[in-house]
Structure 1
């Protein structure tokens, strides 16, 4: 009997999400939570890989899933060199670049773990639409000074998957549509998708764009320079001010959007104003992406965890629905998106690219 299982791996800083799919159906999924102190005691990437790999094997066994039934392994893409959208087989260069990346991010572990498990079964591991997908137009790269260039780091996997899902609901191909896709989670990215390519997007990883539950977004550059050279803050503290401890968290003391909405319902005017300000900034960014598409926008799609919020969706419709109709795809089912790409590989419906 031909193997048909797809193991999907998506690590976080203190968790590892896995799922097993067969014939486009979920067999089981598990969000494995790790003890923070235990993770901190792992002193190398290799120790992290070994630790998480063994836990994945244990969970597969606990769910009575025979690892020999796997056909391929799909992993979330990490901070690699810029690549075009698509699926890539994990190769030696990818392993080298992820292992030696200048910035550590939990997503860097995914392909490394997948490769280790794949080797035990003599099968292949792949990534799909990593965060470094780069399809920016030439003019979108300009910042205003040659020392700086805009780069593309965004929620590529979820944005591309949602785009294809929306296209299928209207019997169209993603490559035939102009879409503005907004991912609202801990970070926020808004992409201008022109006929299957993201020609512009805010670089949410370092905080560019609208402020989010935990990122400050684009702040006044003059004030930022003054604070950086004031002597009051270390480089780490400045970075945390922009990414991690900024945005809604800085204004309200929490990045929990359910708590924020509860405060709004209880009559907290400050919480109401902050959340509306976030929506206002998202709306302005959506408007700028409409300019990137020269006003030819078929739809605005909203996704990510915060897309569950009725308050946020209502405000975004108020600010931007004049541009194009809005469709909402709440959540960020990256496991499903990776499995979808894996199924296309097994059915030979997608070209597998080489990372180089």
Structure 2
């Protein structure tokens, strides 16, 4: 029986789970107040704080030996999907050369430290947000100087694609699947026979709880001139979507407004569903062949009203399955388990030019 620790650091929390083989023993979330973290200038300055709390949690649950630890991958840069061995070059890259600063960049170093204390030092990250197996044709835009990049909720969406395949009694590599993750941020992916060949990120099409989605250039250029690029970025990434209309990220509040007869809420809700459906339809044509199943995941997938709306709009493409919430800890643990069981080989990244 193999014991795997999964570690998922977020902006103000660290989620930790322990699995024995495919069975969850327990999972907990360590919560931090913003004031607790503001004193740290850089994300990696939080390492000792978070590690100490993880170790305390493991000790409280009487964890004395593990076979491996798996952390969230962070913004590594373009990599193939699957497991990546945690080594010093990878940790160094995430600390000093990440694509963006984000708490998930700590996942590799935390997993390595936990594995060194409780196991044999083997640690991995799995399906980072920068997984990139996009087809070349999907990278091009209408402006030569700008190419599309693959940043999305890959960890959760690949986990959901695997779950849908299992539910259909088929192999992931035999199916064509479109997955939409809808929450605070929103992204979607096209899976062609086990490869993520195209994605839609949260600045391209559908809007989410606090993200703008795609915006018309002719309208946003004057707006940026008016408020400035820094302020626009804050709004588009944190104060847009449902927040811009109703001051909340909670879809349940919007649905309550609809039930009370609020016509604007009904219209915005319908536009949200339309954006999700357009995204699914767009990704469907990236896949060579018929779509076997469409999957909705993320927090908003808990809304029966939203699921019904999207299913009605996309029914001509494929049947819809829902996987509400997220499965990131499970995906990390099972990914690590496949590696130590010899079912999957981990990538090894060296970053020799950064030494």
TM-score category by the smaller chain?
A: over 0.9
Deviation at 1:118, TM superposition (A): 2.3
Match of 1:92 among 62, 67, 88: 88
Is residue 224 of structure 2 the alignment partner of residue 208 of structure 1?
Answer: no
Match of 2:277 among 254, 272, 283: 283
Q: After the TM superposition, which residues 66-215 of structure 1 pair with which residues of structure 2 at under 5 Å, given as runs?
A: 66=63, 68-100=64-96, 101-121=98-118, 122-204=120-202, 207-215=203-211
Give per-residue Cα distances to partners, 1:243-277, cap 9 Å, x unaligned.
11111111111111222222222222222211110
Q: Distance in 2 between matches of 1:214 and 1:331?
A: 17
Which stretch shows the higher mean deviation, 150-159 or 93-102?
93-102
Aligned to 2:247: 253
TM-score when normalising by structure 1? 0.94
Is residue 327 of structure 2 the alignment partner of residue 333 of structure 1?
Answer: yes
Q: Distance in 2 between matches of 1:12 and 1:46?
A: 13
Secondary structure at the aligned position of 1:353 is classed as coil
Which stretch shows the higher mean deviation, 115-124 or 22-31?
115-124
The number of equivalent residue pairs is 348
Q: After the TM superposition, which residues 234-273 of structure 1 pair with which residues of structure 2 at under 5 Å, given as runs?
A: 235-273=229-267
Which stretch shows the higher mean deviation, 309-318 or 107-116?
107-116
Q: Distance in 1 between matches of 2:94 and 2:167?
A: 36
Which stretch shows the higher mean deviation, 321-330 or 267-276?
267-276
Deviation at 1:132, TM superposition (A): 0.4
Aligned to 1:40: 38
Q: Distance in 2 between matches of 1:24 and 1:289?
A: 32
Deviation at 1:102, TM superposition (A): 4.8
Match of 2:59 among 33, 47, 61: 61
Give per-residue Cα distances to partners, 1:191-232, cap 9 Å, x unaligned.
11111111111122xx222111110001011222222223x3
Q: Distance in 1 between matches of 2:270 and 2:108?
A: 38
Is residue 339 of structure 2 the alignment partner of residue 345 of structure 1?
Answer: yes
Q: Contact 2:8 / 2:107 at 8 angstroms: preserved in 1?
A: yes
Q: Distance in 2 between matches of 1:12 and 1:269?
A: 36
Which stretch shows the higher mean deviation, 135-144 or 346-355?
346-355
Aligned to 2:353: none
Give per-residue Cα distances to partners, 1:306-352, cap 9 Å, x unaligned.
11101110110111011111111111021111111122122111111
Q: Distance in 2 between matches of 1:79 and 1:273?
A: 36
Give per-residue Cα distances to partners, 1:228-247, cap 9 Å, x unaligned.
223x33x3211112111111
Cα 1:327–1:46, aligned 2, differ >3 Å: closer, same or farther? Answer: closer
Deviation at 1:149, TM superposition (A): 0.3
Which stretch shows the higher mean deviation, 145-154 or 261-270?
261-270
> What is the root-mean-square deviation in Å for CA atoms of aligned residues?
1.5
Q: Distance in 1 between matches of 2:68 and 2:31?
A: 24
Aligned to 1:229: 225
Secondary structure at the aligned position of 1:8 is classed as strand
Q: Distance in 2 between matches of 1:30 and 1:44?
A: 25
Deviation at 1:355, TM superposition (A): 2.2
Q: Distance in 1 between matches of 2:289 and 2:296?
A: 18
Deviation at 1:188, TM superposition (A): 1.3
Is residue 287 of structure 2 the alignment partner of residue 293 of structure 1?
Answer: yes
Q: Distance in 2 between matches of 1:50 and 1:30?
A: 19
Q: Contact 2:44 / 2:106 at 8 angstroms: preserved in 1?
A: no
